[in-house]
Amino acid sequence: MAGTNRSRKPILGGPAVILVEPQLGENIGTAARAMLNFGLTDLRLVKPRDVWPNPKAVGASSGATLVLDQAQVYDSTKAAIADLTRVFATTARPRHMRKDTVTPDEAATRLRRDLAAGESCGILFGAERAGLTNDDVALADTIITVPLNPAFSSLNLAQSVLLIGYEWFKSGDATPAAYFDMGDSRPATREELLGFFEQFEKELRERGFLFPPHKAPVMARNLRNLFHRAHLTEQEVRTLRGVVKSLIRDPHHKEDPSD
């Protein structure tokens, strides 16, 4: 889904994303793209296999150069997390360690809480081929495990970052679960809707549609409910009123340009 709009104010910050021994520049680039989708900008690389800076990462990032340009490179995981007070490690495999294990949505809630309390937080992601080592996981306070198909739980690096990033962003986002996009118009008022209903029903009565008379109130109510469900805008109501006016006009009548 394309949606880059550089004229809008970006959302930046969040926990650090630490990629431990990433192999391909392209994977770092797609991970950076996923980060910027959700306002994450602190990228840390531990011993990337390919040369850094990496032109292939730039190409794969689809414009997320803000993340790549300020990425920091470290010689070890310990060095990459030295300034952090809370560290989460992502893994799909059981590690048999006595550590708190949470889902991505619970991790996002805890990250929000910890960052709000002044903690510095980061999330460890392992290399594409084998993930994090047990020694890396041992450095973390909490393990994040994604509920996946137990017979096929393999995620690539960018998918993992995207999934955790989405839960992070969603935990602080106020977008309603469902809403109507009104475009450039506004929702129609009750007065505007009632004016349309009265015009519409008047013409239907005069043309014999609301018949027989004892059924007319129910028929009119059903039509009103139909339009209510459409959540009409002010512009749409004006358009419908114009449609009704056009349909009842004498087809041989020429509109006066001064009207």
Q: What is the pLDDT of residues 135-180, one digit of tens each?
A: 999 999 999 999 888 888 888 999 999 999 999 999 988 777 766 6
Q: In what order do the strands lie in the sheet with 72-74?
A: 72-74, 43-46, 16-20, 121-125, 86-90, 142-144, 100-102
d(CA 69, CA 53): 8
Outline which parts of the chain fall under CATH 3.40.1280.10. Answer: 16-171
Task: With a cut of 50, list the residues of the chain below it in pLDDT.
Answer: 1, 257-259
Predicted local distance difference test score (pLDDT) of residue 183:
75
Backbone angles phi, psi at 102, to 5 degrees: -130, 160
What pLDDT is recorded for position 184? 80
Q: Which CATH number fits domain 16-171: 3.40.50.10210, 1.10.10.10, 3.40.640.10, 3.40.1280.10?
A: 3.40.1280.10
The pTM (predicted TM-score) of the whole model is 0.72
Return the closest-CA partner of residue 111 out of 164, 174, 45: 164
pLDDT score for 244: 93
Q: What pLDDT sits at residue 174?
A: 74
Please tell me the predicted confidence (pLDDT) of residue 259: 47
pLDDT at 254: 60
